[in-house]
Amino acid sequence: MKLRVRAPATTANLGAGFDCAAVALDLWNELKVSDGGTPDRTHLGVRAFERIDPADGLRFEFFDRIPRERGLGSSAAVIALGLVAAAHVAGRDADPEWLLREGLPLEGHADNLAAALAGGACLTSEGRIHRVADGVPAVPIALVPETAVATEEARAALPEQVPLGDAVFSLGRAALLGAGLASRSEEFFAAALDDRLHEPYRAPKAPLLAEVRADLPAGALGATISGSGPTVIVWAHPHQAKECSVELSSRFPDVEVLWLSTSPKGAELVT
């Protein structure tokens, strides 16, 4: 038996969509499963696999291209790989919502995992995936620093309470985000790329955000912290993405600049 699956990177929150919005990106981790091995049951992907099917006698080869602990959903991708591979080995339909329920005890947060499984732009609520679009009305350009940020560390910086005015501000932007994704409106999407629930508290660990927002490149609609950070996503107008990427590379020579695209596909079997 030989099986190969892939799962995409993701960027979550999208500004005001804290813990509920994410988009799949065209950057992939892969997994090869074959007979004749002793599985490492401490590996996150193998643990995900065994949520559905035993891993006895199987060999697992993981190929990581998504930077780890940079806010691009690397752990969600690994979990998605294990879940989708196990579903195919077990002969079951790899339904994204079923796999999301199986994977949540390992991931903890539904947003990244939902987009990694379903692809496109997803909103999550109470364990349900609301896939609202194949992508977003902008091109994501990722600024990936060398420093890493653990999700637990980033969440520890969040307050238990926020001022009412900040909550109302973010609620309004979240509504615009949903409308912008569904209608593919650049205007609505750009207006949603700001937040007062999580970004102000995570900004010290993602200093690029303030630098980019203080002087947005030509053609940029806005910038957001990707997931827990420290990666920052600059959302560029589709017709100006190349110029935007070149300018960012020139301004931030010590940062990896990834000109990406959104992926309408989630984790899948590779034929």
DSSP codes, 23-37: EEEEEEEEEEEEES-
Is pLDDT of 271 > 80?
A: no
The CA-atom distances, in angstroms, between 145 and each of 36, 179, 248, 255, 256 are 39, 31, 13, 5, 6
How far apart (Å, rounded) are the C-alpha atoms in residues 159 and 132? 30
Q: What is the mean pLDDT of residues 188-217?
A: 90
Rounded Cα distance between 173 and 16, Å, is 6
Q: Is the pTM value of this prediction over 0.85? A: yes
The per-residue pLDDT for range 9-20, each reduced to its tens digit, is 999 999 999 989
- Mean pLDDT calculated for residue range 245-254: 94
Average pLDDT score, the chain: 93
Contacts of 267 (CB under 8 A, 6+ apart): 5, 6, 7, 8, 77, 80, 81, 83, 84, 94, 116, 117
- Of all residues in the chain, what percent carry a pLDDT higher than 70? 100
- Could you report how far apart the first and last alpha carbons of the chain are, in Å? 13
Above 90 in pLDDT, residue 147? no
What 8-state DSSP symbol labels residue 67?
P
* H helix intervals, the chain: 44-49, 74-89, 96-107, 110-118, 151-156, 164-183, 186-192, 199-202, 208-214, 241-251
> Interior CA angle at 239 toward 263 and 266, to 5°?
0
Mean pLDDT computed over 180-198: 92
Query: pLDDT-derived band of residue 26, with 50, 70 and 90 as boundaries?
Result: very high
What pLDDT, on a 0 to 100 scale, did the predictor assign at position 183? 92
Question: Which of 209, 220, 225 is CA-nearest to residue 247?
Answer: 220
Q: For domain 2-134+262-269, is the CATH number 3.10.450.50?
A: no
CATH 3.30.70.890 segments of the chain? 139-259
CATH homologous superfamily, domain 139-259: GHMP kinase, C-terminal domain (3.30.70.890)
Phi, psi of 226 (to 5 degrees): -85, 115
pLDDT for the residue 93:
92
- Give span(s): CATH 3.30.230.10, the chain: 2-134+262-269
Residue 36: which residues within 8 A CB-CB, separation 6 or more? 57, 59
Give the relative orientation of helices 96-107 and 74-89 as an angle to the nearest 10 degrees. Answer: 130
Summarised one tens digit per residue, pLDDT across range 91-141 is 999 999 999 999 999 987 899 999 999 999 999 988 899 999 999 999 999
Q: How many CB atoms lie within 10 A of CB 246?
A: 13
Banded pLDDT at 87 (limits 50, 70, 90): very high
